[in-house]
Structure 1
Amino acid sequence: MAENKTQPTDASVDDFINQVESPKKREDAFALKKMMEEITGEKAVMWGPSIIGFGQYHYKYESGREGDFLIVGFSPRKASISLYVLGCMHEDFDFTIQKLGKVKTGASCIYINKLSDIDENALQELIAKGYQYMKSKYPTR
């Protein structure tokens, strides 16, 4: 069985953020790091070369494939900032996502151009709800 390509690393989160080209995106990345650390109580960890994650859970599919992945995180990509709030595509999260403002959504991602485009209180609520949802659905061993 193949391992998940995106694994936690020992790379420095701050060094990664400091390499972000856009000064505004860099500023937003540091703000998101602080926000997610405060909400989750978890230390920021690099997952692969470009995702900053907070917390992790273990999954196991009926196919037998299993692995670990981050609970919440983000990546300050060139086009937009990708927010990974895995629990947010379930339950009663639609209303919270709508409150965010100017976003696009994908399978388990929310894409924003900059923090000032969205309602930060709604984002904090979404992160907290998504984190708690995943912690309750996938309790740590």
Structure 2
Amino acid sequence: MNLIIIDDEPIQHFIMRKMIDVYVSSAPVTQYSSDGAAVLDFLYRNKNNGDELPDIIFLDLHMPMMNGWEFLDRFKRLRGKLNKQVNVYVISSSIDPEDISRSKKYNFVLDYIIKPMTKLKLKDIFGAN
């Protein structure tokens, strides 16, 4: 299993890395990025190589260069060209009901998770994937 975490906060990368190491039995290959555009470029370059594509993307919404909404809009156009299904979980500190509702408009976003990630939620995600 491959996983990409897109978040501009290095502490979130650290927290997710530790939680995955401790709570996910078959630890996935994980990449970390603070640049959604770079991830989109990576996905496009590897669109025909399912072994390189992630199974799951954890996406923060509020980032400086490309925010999560821009990423989701561009990923929506790219998604059909990928030779593998890639699921997205939005993970954000925003508790704004509009953000939660807006995220549900993307059929490939499986859930909106309010930070911090919990042990139970992480186990639920990896138990289902």
TM range (shorter): 0.3 to 0.5
Relative contact order, higher structure (CA 8 A, sep 6+): 2
Which has the higher Rg, Structure 1 or Structure 2? 1
TM, length-normalised to structure 1? 0.36
Q: Whose strand fraction is larger, Structure 1's or Structure 2's?
A: 1
TM, length-normalised to structure 2? 0.38
